[in-house]
Amino acid sequence: MTRNTSAKQWSQPQVYEIRFKGHLSPSRAQMFEGLEMVQESGGETVLTGPVIDQAALHGILDRIRDLGVPLISVKRLAQDEANTERSVSK
């Protein structure tokens, strides 16, 4: 019998950095409540924060798709990277 390693991987929320092209109005930014949003001067937006499971990750990506903006990258951050990202942005 094999163990389901993906279930173990998601036993705790994973921190993701999601980058897409464009900036959002405050009303559209509410679609990503719970994630930190940085709108960079180069015209990109970066969302960072904990994602509880794969379904939640796909939900976030679906919302980005529905906005019609180009997705640039999706990166799962290692715990030390996630801590560094949060302390730098504060």
CATH of residue 61? 3.30.70.1150
Residue 75 domain-assigned? Answer: yes
Confidence of residue 89 (pLDDT cuts 50, 70, 90): low
**Domain contains 2:** no
- Position 85: which residue type? E
Asked whether residue 4 is domain-assigned, the answer is no
The strand pair at 14-21 and 36-39 is best described as unpaired
pLDDT tens, residue by residue, 13-23? 999 999 999 99
Number of domains in the chain: 1
Q: Is the pTM of this model over 0.85?
A: no
Calpha distance 87→41 (Å, rounded): 20
**Domain containing residue 57:** 9-89
